Amino acid sequence: MEDRLLGQLLLMGVPGAELDPATAARLRALQPGGFILFGRNIKSPEQVRKLIDDLRDLSATEPIITIDQEGGRVSRLRLIGSEPPNAQQLRLKGDRSLIRRHGALTGKLLRLFGFNLNLCPVLDISYDDEADNSLKGRCYGTSVNQVIDFAGVFNKAMRKEGILSCGKHFPTYGSADVDPHELLPVIERTKEQLEAEEVAPFRALLPDLDSMMIGHAWFPAFDPEKRWPSSLSYAVVTRFLRWQLGFDDGLVMTDDLDMGAILNEVSFEETIRAAVTAGNDLCMICHRVEMVEQAREHLKGVEEPLLDDALRRVERAKKKMVPPDAWSRDVFESLNREIWDLRVDTLGEERAAQLSVEDGKRSPVELY
């Protein structure tokens, strides 16, 4: 299989805020299926738009351009603009109209910059809002119905603006007791318990999700024979998500394969091959970008029918992507004011002024 086709199965980070000639040449040769931006890539509004335009220009096939723009601390664009309220703050306010505004404003902002897919909504249930499992502030509900209701409102409003969505973190991080950015959680829930609770929001919203992100946790209920991350699990991705829940043709991606839950458990070569063999379409490599060419080489060890299936699903998802809006600084400033107004309406003037700050041990989810 051609190397350029294999590159379509990689969703990768970008080294810096602009493309130097050597980086541009690498990416042009690799032809990754998509790019994800982080704080290191965000310096100014015009710079972000130029970076995205440059990434699109070097891509023979329109690339996925994605980001984590959830709200609160997981809002990469707060580095250059207002910080939207997070899911928990909106949940506690309990006003669907505010959640709808958040979804619509998020979609409009991302379209303006040139993004076409947002890595949200988070569909995990919060069993403990203070738990150290990377989810603090990020969950739309403490029950199945609350997550379905509030996350569904956000998802619908964002997609209406032309931005594809991604449900995460399947099957769940909600009952994890450690942060997967650092360690592999072990979730001792039976299949029946998972289907009745944690998986229920994913199942309910499945028809309205453009993609799904698989989290890194070990579920002995699915993989009893050995300690194995769910993101690399055939039992979780193919048998459960694709076959049992019916997400057969949907776009599925791993969570970041540079997280401790993977790095501490599985070699890089085995990770890349297992990810696609499990049923993922995109291998997400956010930070070790110097290894993406190796990842492409490792994909050559996967059976060709599996590669063909993944490529078909990537191509199918890309047909739904919408081109970016024309850049306008005035439109950005207007949207930025509306996001601030949303924050005030959610939190009140005094609390709105208190932006996300470090609170004890900060999760790597904020630092990437």
Residues above pLDDT 70, as percent of the chain: 97
Q: Given pLDDT bands bounded at 50, 70 and 90, which one contains residue 364?
A: low
356 or 362: which leads in pLDDT: 356
User: What is the residue type of 60?
Assistant: A
Three-state SS at 170 = strand
Question: To the nearest whole number, what is the mean pLDDT of the chain?
Answer: 95
Which residues, at least 6 apart from 233, have a Cβ–Cβ distance to it below 8 Å? 219, 222, 223, 278
Amino acid of residue 84: P
CATH classification (class only), 3-352: alpha beta
Contact (Cβ atoms closer than 8 angstroms) between residue 297 and residue 24: no
Please tell me the predicted confidence (pLDDT) of residue 286: 97
pLDDT of residue 292: 97
Q: For the chain, what percent of residues have pLDDT higher than 90? A: 94
Structure tokens at 8: 């379509």
Domain ranges within the chain, ordered by starting residue = 3-352
Is the pLDDT at 203 greater than 70? The verdict is yes
Give the model's confidence band at 366: pLDDT under 50 very low, under 70 low, under 90 confident, else very high.
low
For 14-62, the pLDDT digits (tens) are 999 999 999 999 999 999 999 999 999 999 999 999 999 999 999 999 9
Q: What is the pLDDT of residue 1?
A: 75
pTM of this structure: 0.96
pLDDT for position 357? 61
Q: What average pLDDT does this structure show over 347-352? A: 96
Q: Give per-residue pLDDT as tens, 102-134.
A: 999 999 999 999 999 999 999 999 999 999 899
138, 169 Cβ separation under 8 angstroms: no
Burial of 305-317, coded b for 16+ CB within 10 Å and e otherwise, reads ebbebbbebbeeb
pLDDT at 97 over 50: yes
Asked if residue 360 has pLDDT above 50, the reply is: no
Question: What pLDDT does 4 receive?
Answer: 76
Q: How confident is the model at residue 224 (pLDDT cuts 50, 70, 90)?
A: very high
Task: Give the residue among 185, 232, 237 at the shortest CA–CA distance from 212.
Answer: 237
Tokens 């076409």 belong to residue: 116
| Residue whose structure tokens are 């996001």 | 339
Which residues lie below 8 Å from residue 193, measured CB to CB, with a gap of 6+?
none
Using alpha carbons only, how large is the chain's radius of gyration in Å? 19
pLDDT at position 315? 98
Give the whole-angstrom CA distance, residue 349 versus residue 340: 10
What is the SS3 assignment for 297? helix
- pLDDT surpasses 90 at 365: no
Parallel, antiparallel or unpaired: strands 251-254 and 211-214? parallel
Q: What is the pLDDT of residue 265?
A: 97
> pLDDT tens-digit profile of 288-341?
999 999 999 999 999 999 999 999 999 999 999 999 999 999 999 999 999 999
